[in-house]
């Protein structure tokens, strides 16, 4: 069953105004980036992150009782009469519709930019320009999604979005573990190559700070969330502490050091403070049915707190998604150190080579012409008279465009799962205007399990070279 026509037309004028505003906003945004000191690759990522943030906020608002009541007022209760049975206009299905629209938007753009290697490719303008048409396309997908029958979104939410959200979490954890290793490697290389003690102090200082931070966060959890009768929280906190001690000891054990002398406390400290933070986030968002979450009882202005919490959540997801989306080269580029790889795996990196000049191609052609290797006419094909100084991708994209859109697509699925409590529908309190994000035991367990998986992945990077040295020999 599709959405009633009048439900879609909550205000046709409103949609037209929004569309026009979006076009003017996109044009203004493009002009602003051209006038500021922003490279194309950075500006593009910022705009897509803003679209993701707006889509997430709109999905969240449509889940709330407050939004439902506002829609009922705007449609003179027609919406309530026509949509109360199937919930096609609001609630959980509306969240899946809006997030599906954004996923479809990114899947479509990803297909259009597959194989783009630099901005000399005409299709690169699809990624870095055409903001007005792209925003119109996004809005069109959102509107069209309300014409799709509910049965499709029941299948989408229960299977496709669930798989995509799980994949998003796993990709994030893999990149985090890889970043822990590459951060330590980068500091050691800077220290050794440039004989600069500042990198040694940065590495040692950050390691000590993260270890102390882990201890402080654990103490806070024991002090505020592990009181009498809070056995589940006590288990989460204690088990996480045990795992952190195990991986820390494992990172400096003789066998691990022999297999990889560069593994040690810096990588372990980054992983354990992240996992401890995830556990703190889990217990801090736990329902207060057992009086184990003082944050719930201590909230002041409820609506303001919920809005700020939701905005912070979506900002964090937008930022992490944008960062992860730029790591497409990590799946296809070999680096010097990749402990996650097996003989058949593809290595991961988290940054591009430093010092790569934007005009390398032109300089190479000029040198080749001067040496007589190629004819002078080759320079005619490399006319840089109209070269845009803001175009930092003329000689190679800063990230894989197709992978960028894939990550944003599955991140939208993750937001849908987060807002719908992983398809565990719960009713909102009658005195709440807005829905608190993630305050269910399902969300708590998702965070806890992701923390355990992160430690498991990091542990594999330590013990893998010990048990399978032949499969890791090329990466040390």
- What is the pLDDT at residue 20? 43
The model carries a pTM of 0.74
pLDDT band at 230 (very low <50, low <70, confident <90, very high): confident
pLDDT band at 62 (very low <50, low <70, confident <90, very high): confident
Q: 76-85, 192-201, 257-266, 273-282: which range is least confident on average? A: 76-85
- What is the pLDDT at residue 180? 83
Q: 70-84, 112-126, 250-264: which range is least confident on average? A: 70-84
Pick 353 or 118 by higher pLDDT: 118
Express each pLDDT in 76-118 by its tens digit: 554 555 455 554 556 788 889 999 999 999 999 999 999 888 8
Contact 196, 190 (CB under 8 A): yes
Averaged pLDDT for residues 235-263: 90
Averaged pLDDT for residues 308-312: 68
Contact 340, 178 (CB under 8 A): yes
- What is the pLDDT at residue 476? 45
- What is the pLDDT at residue 458? 92
Contact 268, 247 (CB under 8 A): yes
- What is the pLDDT at residue 3? 38
Q: What is the DSSP letter of 156?
A: I
Distance CA 135, CA 9 (A): 19
Express each pLDDT in 128-170 by its tens digit: 888 989 999 999 999 898 888 888 988 898 889 989 999 998 8
Distance CA 397, CA 119 (A): 7
SS3 313: helix
Pick 79 or 459 by higher pLDDT: 459
Q: 215-229, 239-253, 351-365, 432-446: which range is least confident on average? A: 351-365
The set of residues, in sequence order, having a beta carbon less than 8 Å from that of 317 and lying 6+ positions away, is 52, 56, 411, 414, 415
Express each pLDDT in 423-444 by its tens digit: 765 544 444 555 666 677 888 8
Distance CA 313, CA 304 (A): 14
CA quadruple 467, 471, 472, 475: dihedral, nearest 10 = 180
- What is the pLDDT at residue 393? 67
Determine which helix (DSSP H) or strand (DSSP E) holds 187, and give its type and residue range.
Answer: helix 161-194
Range ranked top by mean pLDDT from 12-16, 230-234, 365-369: 230-234
Express each pLDDT in 376-424 by its tens digit: 555 455 544 444 555 666 777 888 888 899 999 999 999 998 888 887 6
In this predicted structure, the answer to whether residue 237 has a pLDDT above a threshold of 70 is yes
- What is the pLDDT at residue 195? 72
Q: 15-24, 36-45, 65-74, 385-394: which range is least confident on average? A: 15-24
Range ranked top by mean pLDDT from 22-31, 172-181, 336-345: 172-181
**What residue spans define the domains of the chain?**
5-152, 162-336+440-475
- What is the pLDDT at residue 111? 94
Q: What is the CA radius of gyration of the chain?
A: 25
Whole-number percent of the chain with pLDDT over 70: 63
pLDDT band at 318 (very low <50, low <70, confident <90, very high): confident
In this predicted structure, the answer to whether residue 17 has a pLDDT above a threshold of 70 is no
Averaged pLDDT for residues 252-277: 88
> How many Cα neighbours within 13 Å face the side chain of 268?
21
């Amino acid at each position: 069953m599709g959405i009633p026509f009048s439900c879609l037309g909550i205000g046709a004028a409103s949609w037209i105004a929004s569309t026009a505003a979006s076009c003017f906003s996109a044009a203004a945004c493009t002009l602003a980036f051209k006038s500021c000191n922003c490279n194309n690759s950075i500006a593009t990522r910022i705009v897509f992150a803003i679209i993701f943030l707006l889509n997430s906020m709109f999905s969240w608002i449509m889940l709330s009782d407050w939004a439902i009541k506002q829609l009922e007022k705007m449609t003179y209760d027609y919406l309530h009469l026509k949509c109360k049975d199937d919930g096609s206009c609001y609630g959980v299905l509306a969240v899946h519709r809006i997030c599906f629209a954004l996923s479809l938007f990114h899947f479509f753009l990803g297909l259009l930019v597959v194989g783009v290697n630099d901005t000399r490719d005409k299709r690169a303008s699809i990624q870095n320009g055409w903001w007005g048409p792209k925003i119109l396309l996004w809005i069109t997908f959102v509107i069209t999604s309300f014409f799709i029958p509910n049965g499709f979104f029941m299948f989408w939410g229960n299977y496709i979005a669930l798989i995509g959200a799980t994949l998003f979490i796993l990709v994030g954890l893999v990149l985090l573990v890889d970043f822990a290793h590459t951060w330590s490697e980068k500091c050691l290389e800077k220290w050794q190559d440039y004989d600069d003690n500042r990198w040694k102090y940065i590495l040692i200082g950050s390691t000590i700070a993260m270890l102390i931070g882990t201890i402080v966060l654990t103490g806070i959890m024991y002090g505020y969330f592990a009181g009498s009768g809070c056995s589940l929280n006590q288990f989460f906190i204690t088990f996480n502490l045990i795992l952190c001690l195990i991986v820390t000891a494992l990172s400096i054990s003789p066998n691990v050091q022999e297999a990889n002398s560069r593994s040690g406390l810096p990588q372990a400290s980054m992983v354990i403070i992240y996992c401890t933070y995830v556990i703190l986030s889990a217990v801090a968002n736990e329902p207060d049915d057992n009086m184990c979450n003082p944050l719930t009882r201590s909230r002041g202005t409820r609506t303001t707190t919920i809005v700020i919490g939701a905005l912070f959540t979506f900002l964090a997801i937008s930022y992490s998604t944008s960062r992860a989306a730029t790591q497409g080269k990590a799946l296809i580029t070999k680096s010097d150190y990749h402990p996650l790889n097996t003989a058949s795996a593809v290595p991961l990196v988290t940054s591009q080579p430093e010092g790569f000049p934007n005009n390398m191609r032109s300089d190479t052609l000029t040198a080749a012409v001067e040496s007589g290797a190629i004819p002078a006419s080759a320079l005619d094909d490399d006319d840089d008279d109209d070269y845009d100084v803001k175009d930092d991708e003329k000689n190679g994209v800063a990230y894989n465009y197709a992978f960028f859109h894939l990550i944003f697509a599955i991140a939208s699925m993750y937001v849908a799962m987060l807002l719908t409590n992983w398809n565990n529908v719960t009713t909102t309190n009658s005195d709440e205007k807005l829905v608190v994000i993630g305050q269910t035991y399902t969300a708590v367990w998702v965070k806890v399990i992701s923390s355990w998986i992160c430690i498991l992945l990091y542990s594999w990077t330590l013990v893998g070279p010990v048990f399978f040295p032949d499969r890791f020999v090329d990466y040390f």
